[in-house]
Amino acid sequence: MSSSIATELAGAAFLAYPYPVYRRLIEQTPVFWLPHVHEPGGMWCVARYRDVAFVLHHAPVFKDTSRIAPPERLTPLDRAMLQRDPPDHTRLRRLASHAFTPRRVQNLEPRIEQISRRLINQIRERGTADFITDYARPLPIIVIAELLGVPFEDHERFSAWSDQIMIGSDSVLGGEEAAHRSREAMAALVDYFTALIRERRQHPRDDLISALIAARDAEDRLNEDELLGMCVLLLIAGHETTVNLIGNGLLTLLRQRDQLSLLQRHPEYLTSAIEEMLRYESPVQRSTPRFAAATFEIAGQRIEQGQQISLMFGAANRDPSLFPDPDRFDVTRHPNPHMGFGSGIHYCLGAPLARIEARVAFSHMLEYLPDIDLATDQPQWKPVTWLRGLQRLPISV
Ligand code: HEM
- Identify which of 253, 193, 191 has the alpha carbon closest to the alpha carbon of residue 395: 253
Lowest mean pLDDT among 21-30, 119-128, 233-242, 260-269: 233-242
pLDDT given for residue 174 in this prediction: 67
Task: Label residue 274 by pLDDT band (50, 70, 90).
Answer: very high
Residue of 61, 235, 241, 384 to test ligand 1 pocket, by largest number of atoms within 8 Å of CB? 241
Write out residues with Cβ below 6 Å of ligand 1: 81-82, 93, 144, 233-234, 237-238, 241-242, 245, 283-284, 287-288, 313, 340-342, 346, 348-350, 353-354
Q: What is the DSSP letter of 287?
A: P
Q: Which residues of 197-229 are buried (b: 16+ CB within 10 A; e: fewer)?
A: beebeeeeeebbbbbbbebeeeeeebeeebbbb
Domain boundaries, the chain: 2-396
Residue nearest to atom 34 of ligand 1 (CA): 349
Residue of 143, 146, 348, 355 to test ligand 1 pocket, by largest number of atoms within 8 Å of CB? 348
Burial (CB count <10 Å: 0-12, 13-18, 19+), residue 258: exposed
CA dihedral defined by 97, 91, 294, 56, rounded to 10 degrees?
-10
Task: Label residue 3 by pLDDT band (50, 70, 90).
Answer: low
Q: Which atom of ligand 1 is nearest to the CA of 342?
A: 10
Q: Looking at residues 115-143, what average pLDDT do you find?
A: 95
Q: Looking at residues 90-110, what average pLDDT do you find?
A: 91
Rounded to whole angstroms, what are the CA distances from 161 to 32, 108, 181? Answer: 32, 25, 9
Q: Helix, strand or coil for residue 40?
A: coil
196-225 pLDDT tens trace: 999 999 999 999 999 999 887 667 788 888
The CATH superfamily assigned to 2-396 is Cytochrome P450 (1.10.630.10)
Neighbouring CB atoms inside 10 A of 36's CB total 14
Percent of the chain with pLDDT over 70: 98
Task: Label residue 330 by pLDDT band (50, 70, 90).
Answer: very high
Q: Which atom of ligand 1 is nearest to the CA of 278?
A: 5
301, β-bridge pairs? 298
283-316 pLDDT tens trace: 999 999 999 999 999 999 999 999 999 999 999 9
What is the average pLDDT value for the chain, to the nearest integer? 93
Residue of 341, 356, 384, 390 to test ligand 1 pocket, by largest number of atoms within 8 Å of CB? 341
309, β-bridge pairs? 44, 290
Cα of 340 from ligand 1 centre, angstroms: 9
134-183 pLDDT tens trace: 999 999 999 999 899 998 788 888 888 988 888 887 777 767 788 888 88
Confidence check: pLDDT of 1 > 70: no
CB 281 within 8 A of CB 252: yes
Residue nearest to atom 7 of ligand 1 (CA): 341
Peptide bond into 70 cis (omega under 30): no
**DSSP β-ladder status, 308-311 and 290-292:** antiparallel
Confidence check: pLDDT of 17 > 90: yes
pTM above 0.85, yes or no: yes
